[in-house]
Each structure stands twice: as C-alpha cells, then as structure tokens.
Amino acid sequence: MPEARFELADATTLELRPNAYDGVVSQFVLGHVPRAEQAPLLWRVAGWLKPGGVLLATMGTAQADDQVEADWLGAPMFFASFDEETNRALLVDAGFEALEARVVPFEEPGHGVVRFMWVLAERSAPSA
C-alpha cells in the first residue's frame, strides 16, 4: 500500500478531509471507545470516506458497559461494546452497508474466549 496514510491520533477528535478516502482500517479500536462515542465515531469515519469507500473494522460483542479492567496483560485497559445486532444498526445508521460481518471467537491468553465482530462495510452513496 505505497499510497497508504497512517494516522496516530485520537479517532474521536481526528479531523480529516470529508469524502477523501477509499478506505479506513480500524482494528481493535472501537472496543476501547466509550459506548456513547462509538456511533458518532462511525459517522465521522463515514464522512471521511468517498461514496463506495470501505471500512474494515473489529467491533466488540460483549455488551459491556464502559469499564476498566485493572490488570489486562499487566496494565489497566478500558473496554466498552455492544452486541452484534446493535453494532449492525450503528453501521447502518452511519451510512454503511455491511458487505461481510461475522463474529469470530478466539482464545485470549489469561482471559478465555473473546468474540469480535469483523466487519467489511461500504459507505453508501448519498441520497439524491
């Protein structure tokens, strides 16, 4: 991806040009954003994408209220997530069409089985 642009920033406040990007990748980010800020963030991401642009993301599925786990791999870590149905609704509300979405369980050392919803979604074209 020689033309890729990588940003190190707080995604909830990042300012990018609207309708300018072909794709956004967000791996294991949304589950560390407060629940009240996840929908607005998805709206922001949709605004950055060109119509037809794609989002590749992971979304938590634990239906977890905003919480801090004191010892997650040796450090405190913030978690928040919705369930799969709510995630799908948030994507649609933000203007995405899910091309592929599935919950994938995996064993996380020291924490047991965790499930993330892997999503490939396309930004819908604006209504005429």
Per-residue pLDDT tens digits for 8-63:
899 999 999 999 999 999 999 999 999 999 999 999 999 999 999 999 999 999 99
Instruction: Please provide the DSSP assignment of 66-115 as one string.
Output: SEEEEEETTEEEEE----HHHHHHHHHHTTEEEEEEEEEEEEETTTEEEE
* Cα Rg, the chain, nearest whole Å: 15
Does residue 33 form part of some domain?
yes
Does residue 55 form part of some domain?
yes
Does residue 8 form part of some domain?
no
Quote the domain boundaries for residue 67: 22-123
Does residue 79 form part of some domain?
yes
Does residue 80 form part of some domain?
yes
Specify the CATH number for the domain of residue 54: 3.40.50.150
pTM comes to 0.91
Does residue 12 form part of some domain?
no
Domain total in the chain: 1
User: What band does 126 get if pLDDT is binned at 50, 70 and 90?
Assistant: low
Does residue 1 form part of some domain?
no
Does residue 108 form part of some domain?
yes
